[in-house]
Amino acid sequence: MELADFLGLVHPVIAVFFVFPLIGIVVNYAWATRQRRLQAKSGDKSKIPASSGVEHKKLGSWLTGAIVGLVLIGLAYPIGKNLITNQVWGKAPFQVIFILLMFPATIASLVFLYRANTKLWRAVFATLTGAGLIILGFQDGVFRRDNEWYWSHYYIGMAAAMLMIFSLAIVPEIYKDKSHRWRLIHTVLNCLALVLFLGQSMTGTRDLLEIPLSWQEPYIYKCDFVNKTCPVPPTSLK
Ligand code: HEM
Ligand code: HEM
């Protein structure tokens, strides 16, 4: 396997080996947190450990970082491939510098979001982190599948990432709000996030199936993807 193809596997491997198991653990603690709260509310003595809420929050924070990191890697590969194959540095060096700066800027915004205490700064850094991902997502090379956006690995992944960033930003609200309104908003939105993660597992594996190995590209990209036909090789002349 060539290096370019191998690098394309970094994002799927991290998703499968690290991120999806983490989603499983976070959801397990989420379920325990809710069950424990409801049991306590109805006056029952719960056997679920009191630490489940804290563990959910701790691993949930990890999950936000993991998803933002995964999206950045997923974007870095097609953007980088486009910059190199189209030799963009020679034509538009400032665009290359801008793109290269957007990656650390997005990561820095997320780091500040983890550290922000006031509502205003949490809103600012959540917006900046989300904006960083979207700006990078608009760069050339990223396959957004605009004509089938509802089935696009890009759009579903971006929506899931926004929900994770929002979850991290509203943690203090969930704890402060005695009416449980923020808790309910969080639960409903993240049940949707779970459906989006299912979508990512399906669209990601489909994309792996569709992307050719680099030595196959010149042949595969001659195909007509709308009519699903490929040029027939000329029969050998006798
Ligand atoms: C797939 C992702 C997630 C799902 C399905 C999920 C779901 C839930 C559920 C069901 C609860 C309990 C609600 C209740 O008590 O009725 C909860 C609580 C909470 N979640 Fe999440 N969540 C997810 C991700 C996250 C993330 C990324 C964070 C960010 C740090 C987070 C932070 C919290 C916090 C702070 C609580 C309150 C915990 C407590 O009561 O001690 N969650 N979540
Ligand atoms: C929570 C999980 C995931 C998220 C948030 C996510 C997000 C993304 C994003 C934003 C991109 C860049 C846009 C694009 O090219 O479509 C991308 C690319 C990609 N992802 Fe994922 N992804 C996830 C899981 C997976 C999984 C499980 C697989 C496969 C097993 C996968 C395979 C791919 C592939 C093949 C690409 C294309 C890279 C290219 O354009 O050459 N992803 N992902």
Label residue 79 exposed, middle or buried (CB < 10 Å: 0-12, 13-18, 19+).
buried
User: Which atom of ligand 2 is nearest the CA belonging to 157?
Assistant: 5
Q: Residues 167-172: contacts with CB within 8 Å, 24+ apart?
A: 167/60, 167/64, 167/193, 168/60, 168/61, 168/64, 168/113, 168/114, 168/126, 169/113, 169/122, 169/123, 169/125, 169/126, 170/122, 171/57, 171/61, 172/119, 172/122
Q: Whose CA is nearest to atom 28 of ligand 2?
A: 204
Per DSSP, the residues of 43-109 read TPPP-S-TTHHHHHHHHHHHHHHHHHHHHHHHHHHHHHHHHHHTTHHHH-HHHHHHHHHHHHHHHHH
Nearest ligand for residue 160 CA: 2
- For ligand 2, the distance from its centroid to the CA atom of residue 115, given in whole angstroms, is 28
What is the average pLDDT score of the chain? 95
C-beta 149 within 6 A of ligand 2: no
Question: Is 132 close to ligand 2, i.e. is its CB under 6 Å away?
Answer: no
Which of 174, 202, 203, 204 is closest to 186 using CA atoms?
174
Find the mean pLDDT for residues 67-82: 97
Helix (H, G, I), strand (E, B) or coil at 235: coil
pLDDT at 31: 98
Three-class secondary structure assignment of 74-87? HHHHHHHHHHHHCC
CA dist 85 and 79 (Å) reads 10
Q: Which residues pair with 229 in a beta bridge?
A: 224
Domains of the chain: which residue ranges? 3-204
3-state secondary structure of 229: strand
Q: What is the pLDDT of residues 145-198, one digit of tens each?
A: 988 899 999 999 999 999 999 999 999 999 999 999 999 999 999 999 999 999
Residue 226 — very low, low, confident or very high, per pLDDT cuts 50/70/90?
confident
Ligand 1, from 23, 46, 56, 182: best to mutate by most atoms within 8 Å of Cβ? 56
Give the pLDDT confidence score for residue 1 in this predicted structure. Answer: 84
pLDDT at 84: 95
Q: Is the CB of 68 under 6 A from ligand 2?
A: no
Separation between Cα atoms, residue 26 and residue 31, nearest integer Å: 9
Whole-prediction pTM value?
0.95
If you take atom 25 of ligand 1, which residue's CA is the nearest one? 60
Q: Look up tokens 């004509």; give the residue.
A: 147
CA distances from 83 to 87, 99, 207 (A): 6, 10, 21
The pLDDT score that the predictor gives to residue 236 is 62
Question: 49, 55, 24, 54: which is closest to 36 by C-alpha?
Answer: 49
Structure tokens at 74: 């997923």
Q: 62 is written with which tokens?
A: 């990890």
User: Among candidates 27, 13, 19, 1, which has minimal Cα distance to 187?
Assistant: 27
Residues β-bridged to residue 224: 229
Q: Which of 190, 194, 201 to mutate to test ligand 1, by most ligand atoms within 8 A of the CB atom?
A: 190
Per-residue confidence (pLDDT) for residue 235, from 0 to 100: 74
